[in-house]
Amino acid sequence: MIVSMQDKGEALLSKCSKGFKSLVRRKQVDSVHVRREGHQLARKLTALDLTAIGVGTTIGAGVYVLVGTVAREHTGPALTVSFLIAGLAAALSAFCYAELASRCPSAGSAYHYAYICIGESVAWLIGWSLILEYTIGGAAIARGISPNIALFLGGEGNLPAFLVRHTIPQLGVVVDPCAAILVLIVTFLLCAGIKESSLVQTIVTTVNVCAMLFIIVAGGYLACKTGWVGYELHGRFFPFGLNGMLAGSAIVFFSYIGFDAVTGAAEETKRPLRDLPLGIGMTLTLCCILYMLVSVVIVGLVPYYALNPDTPISSAFSANGMQWAAYIVTAGAVTALCASLMGSLLPQPRLLMAMARDGLLPAFFSDISTRTQVPVKSTVTTGMLAAVLAFFMDVSELSGMVSVGTLLAFTVVAISILILRYAPPEEVPLPSSLQQFIDSVRKQLDDDSQSMERKEFNDADIVEQRPSQSEYGEASIQCPLIEKQFCEGNQDKQNPRRRRNIAIWNIALFCIGVLVLTSAASVEYLPSLVHFSLGAVGAAILLCSLVVLACLNQDEARHSFGHTGGFLCPFVPFLPAACILINSYLLMSLGVGTWIRVSIWLIMGALVYISYGWRHSSLTNAVYVPMAYLDHIYRASSSHQV
């Protein structure tokens, strides 16, 4: 009886251990060794195409409204400084994305990086969150286009009858046919081919940028004529103080979200090692410059307290006798929304395709058209879902959930950089069909290693036992040199393992410290003593773990991880650590209601993963082997096939 219970306990423990290991299993970086069934995506995008996608996705119509609200309530004339600080904060994530995109240039973006560096369960949650972000984001953008089109045409009455919003009396639902039609048009363009859709994206983004340049040039000319009245506030460049300016930075930070769409097209880039970092860097730089110049002009044309919170730019021009400029501003807003819509719908089919390739979603989503070389089935599914949402639902209340997906992705990408530098994966998964070659290579390499050790040991014995006679006949002494070399060799083998374990634990402790500190800073209903105590504990854990990471040497295996020769994130571990801290604080500040809705979505995702993804994962029967064995195994399998 006791033996039987022990056997059952051991079996249960074995199952639990196997289940936990399956949650943290990591896949291989896509390389020449990875054989994919079906056709590949077309590699046609250049750095200029990626920049157009990134700028179009990032610069939405929100900036045309955001400058008025933030300047009136938070920053005053210091709005430009807020945009600069937010741009620098976004650049932290951009640096992390640039390295991972050049090392692992495959579809899936943050989902793909998390799967390689952290594990399957975290990758699934990131992918599930990004699905929500792209779907709701696309529907929300589409719902915002029709009012701007109506404004451009002089009122909703000038729209064709089939595009006007209607209310269903029985349900009280406001349907928006214009939004649904625009989503379907964009879906058709995306199905036509990546080069065709990127060309349209470039044209629309160019019109939007030209509208912003008009605002900058014409507004600067008017401000010079009127004497920059918005800045004639003695001693009031920071009317709301430093805290107001920082609060404004936290708000306008979300206007930089979108550059990660560049990495969604990584697999369709001609020269990913060069073009992906360039596309990300050029996107963020151009957006930051445009935002800052627009804010300089607008808060200079009109005093910040006189800005219209709904139409700040149009009102600023009208106040200076240029009512006709409202048409150009509205045209810029419409094109900005159209470009953002395309940018939101572009990455999701690639994400679904990547998740289906890994077995976490049905294979239906991984099919690639032989004619257009794009995932047409995933694109049509995404477009239809977004069109239905845009037609029936006002998803503006759910817009906070879009920010959660993006900030979670930013945080996980920064953590992946720390793992890549200090504890990169030592083993890679191979299909079980290669088991015989794996066993053969492992046995051969182990035998070679043992024979080499025996030879070195025998040589050491000979040296130590050989008498060393001096010319005066003195007694011999044993040579300690070989023993010293063996000790140093054993230390070299043990020290990397010890350093790696220390790094893993300190990365985990740093994340815990960030979670405690940001929770203490953002939760308002706790007593001040509890706030201070939690903050102090979190800060202490954070700083201690960061100091340890800074003192550790980075793992040498990082040089051979993935594709080499691309961009490298600077100032590791401090830059990724700052990125994790900023994004975690913004996540904690989004509000309880947003987190309740996101939690429901994540629970649904966990159920889908348990019921389907965990069982159908391509890594279910994978065999993990050391990276040093990889080339030998593939050579053995290739020679066998020949």
| Residue bearing the bigger pLDDT, 463 or 59 | 59
Kind of pairing between the strands at 427-430 and 166-168: unpaired
pLDDT at 157 over 80: no
| Residue bearing the bigger pLDDT, 625 or 476 | 625
Q: Is the peptide bond before 573 cis (omega within 30 degrees of 0)?
A: yes
DSSP state of 45: B
State the Cα–Cα distance between residues 596 and 341, nearest whole angstrom: 26
Task: Compute the C-alpha angle 579/119/417, nearest 5°.
Answer: 30
- Which of 3-7, 67-71, 337-341 is least confident? 3-7
pLDDT at 509 over 70: yes
Q: Which residues have a Cβ under 8 Å from the Cβ of 358 and sit 6 or more positions away?
A: 27, 115, 617, 618, 619
- pLDDT the model gives residue 243: 86
Mean pLDDT (the chain) is 84
pLDDT at 103 over 50: yes
| Residue bearing the bigger pLDDT, 483 or 419 | 419
- Tokens standing for 632? 């030998």
Out of 21-25, 144-148, 187-191, 585-589, give the one with best mean pLDDT.
187-191
- pLDDT the model gives residue 527: 80
| Residue bearing the bigger pLDDT, 3 or 535 | 535
Q: Give the whole-number percent of the chain exceeding pLDDT 90.
A: 46
Q: How confident is the model at residue 481 (pLDDT cuts 50, 70, 90)?
A: very low
- Which of 39-43, 224-228, 336-340, 548-552 is least confident? 39-43
- pLDDT the model gives residue 293: 95
- pLDDT the model gives residue 80: 94
- pLDDT the model gives residue 556: 87
- Tokens standing for 297? 């002009």
- pLDDT the model gives residue 635: 72
Please write the tens of the pLDDT for every residue from 515-526. Answer: 999 988 887 777
- pLDDT the model gives residue 36: 52
- pLDDT the model gives residue 5: 57
Q: How confident is the model at residue 61 (pLDDT cuts 50, 70, 90)?
A: confident
- pLDDT the model gives residue 470: 41
pLDDT at 530 over 60: yes
SS3 265: coil
State the Cα–Cα distance between residues 258 and 260, nearest whole angstrom: 5
State the Cα–Cα distance between residues 133 and 46, nearest whole angstrom: 26
Domain ranges of the chain: 52-424, 502-554
Please write the tens of the pLDDT for every residue from 570-628. Answer: 999 999 999 999 999 999 888 788 888 889 999 999 999 999 999 899 888 888 888 77
**pTM (predicted TM-score):** 0.88
pLDDT at 485 over 50: no
| Residue bearing the bigger pLDDT, 626 or 248 | 248
What distance lies between CA 136 and its chain's CA centroid?
17
Q: How confident is the model at residue 455 (pLDDT cuts 50, 70, 90)?
A: low
| CATH numeric code, 52-424 | 1.20.1740.10
Kind of pairing between the strands at 623-626 and 173-175: unpaired
Q: How confident is the model at residue 482 (pLDDT cuts 50, 70, 90)?
A: very low
Residue with tokens 């306990």: 9
Average pLDDT over residues 516-538: 86
- pLDDT the model gives residue 227: 87
Asked if residues 558 and 424 have their Cβ atoms less than 8 Å apart, the reply is yes
Q: How confident is the model at residue 149 (pLDDT cuts 50, 70, 90)?
A: confident
pLDDT at 458 over 80: no
State the Cα–Cα distance between residues 479 and 485, nearest whole angstrom: 11
- pLDDT the model gives residue 87: 94
- pLDDT the model gives residue 451: 62
pLDDT at 514 over 80: yes
Please write the tens of the pLDDT for every residue from 559-568. Answer: 888 888 889 9
